[in-house]
Amino acid sequence: MAFFFDTSVLIRLTNTGDTDHLVAVGAALELHRRGKSVYVTGQNFVEFWNVATRPLGVNGLGLSVAETDSRLAVFEASFTLIEETPAVYPTWRSLVRDLGVIGKQVHDARLVAVCHVHGITDIVTFNTGHFARLASFWPGIRVIDPANI
């Protein structure tokens, strides 16, 4: 069983003021305790940088570039970065076309496509509603709320 952390988990691991911060920390620690690998992709880090450096007033964390870089380095050391192979694009393309995915959910669809291509079965996210329909496109991918780890 392979686990993938959505960006929503990375954000809450960083944001100690978030009500779900301890849930995210608990999920990460529990998977580590079980000896499970947690995967992320470059897109997660791009999305993390976006939210972390965005001002608080526009739904960001308001971190400096140096703070964001430091936290990203911790994630890079803690989680396994998987390659975004050429097979991801046609997989994503099929998913968004067949499910009629529009708007911001195209980014979530890409993460689901990465998981499918790499055989990752469990997507851990605080946005379970965003991912449930996308993950159901292929059998074998589960969407898990971090509180359920």
| 42-75 exposure pattern, b = at least 16 Cβ within 10 A, e = fewer | ebbbebbbebbbeeeeeeebebeeeebeebbeeb
Report the pLDDT value the prediction gives residue 140, as an integer from 0 to 100.
Answer: 85
Q: Give the start-to-end residue ranges of the domains of the chain.
A: 3-148
Report the pLDDT value the prediction gives residue 138, as an integer from 0 to 100.
Answer: 87
Total length of the chain: 149
Task: For the chain, give the mean pLDDT.
Answer: 96
Read off the pLDDT of residues 7-56 as tens digits, 9 standing for 90 and up.
999 999 999 999 999 999 999 999 999 999 999 999 999 999 999 999 99
CA nearest 37: which of 121, 129, 113?
121
Q: Checking phi first, is residue 35 left (phi over 0); if not, alpha (psi -120 to 50) or beta?
A: left
pTM higher than 0.85: yes
Mean pLDDT of 79-98: 96
What is 3-148's CATH superfamily? 5'-nuclease (3.40.50.1010)
